[in-house]
Amino acid sequence: MLNSLMPSCELLKSESPLTSYPNGSQLRDVLPEVYCLFGVPQGVNYHGECDTGIHTMLAIQYAANKGYDALVRLGALLHDVGKGVTPTDALPAHHKHEVVGGQVVQAMFERVSFCDWLESEGLYAIESTRDFVVYCATRHLALVKYRDLNYKTVLNEVMVLQGLFGDDGFDMLVRALRVCECDKEGRMNQLKRYLNEFQPVNDHTAMYDFWTGVYNVVRQEGFQKDSANSQECHVARLNAVKRFMKNVF
């Protein structure tokens, strides 16, 4: 029998997740993948708060303060679940945690019933929600490190989004970028600023401008894959992305 997510919805609906954190046994029973993050260390060079569970709570607290919707909060809650299964002899490093995280999320959606929660929030179908959360878990590092990507990888990222979400691809991209923002801001610097309503420490404008800009450039060229001139369309999209990136960088 699938466990219902509803008992732990305080984390996704509250304006103050840090203070409405459900009791440990409740979280352990419904979302053990999140519960086990507490006590898991992270590299202090990137995470001054050290503890992965604390980082997760700070990320969704930031999402709440920004007024981001429940889908973004769910993505923020689960973006680092891959760190919960990192071998202890590898800690505090979490190499490839994003790959493992996608697998963990897939398994969660087979075990946890999100239906009641989705209906209560008026959100997407279960498949789209699952695909979004898996995408955030697997791609949140790549989206942030866009300056390190080549134009072929950037185009592939856009095509994956469009393939997963169709006409909703752009909106889901913006949501995924918001999850990335929550990840970057949910750290020790925000813990110190908790009484100042979690004001952003980093400027995320460039990240948003890059991905929304390149998505629109590809959209203008067309997303068709199966037309008679599909190769020509692909080359046109590649060239458009190359021009865009040359102008940006």
pLDDT at 1: 38
pLDDT at 157: 96
Please enumerate in sequence order all residues whose Cβ is within 8 A of that of 95, keeping only pairs 6 or more positions apart, or say none: none
List the domain range (segments joined by +) for residue 232: 3-248
DSSP H or E run through 162:
helix 151-165
* Under 8 Å between Cβ of 108 and 26: no
Q: Which amino acid is at 227?
A: S
Return averaged pLDDT per consecutive 10 residues of the chain, 249 residues in all: 54 72 67 88 67 87 88 92 84 79 90 71 75 95 94 96 94 97 80 54 87 96 71 91 95
pLDDT at 212: 97
pLDDT at 49: 64
pLDDT at 192: 54
The structure tokens listed for 151 are 């134009």
**What CA dihedral angle connects 105, 206, 209 and 77, to 10 degrees?**
20
Say which DSSP state 82 is in.
G
Bridge-based pairing of strands 112-113 and 3-4 is: parallel
Number of domains in the chain: 1
* Under 8 Å between Cβ of 52 and 38: yes
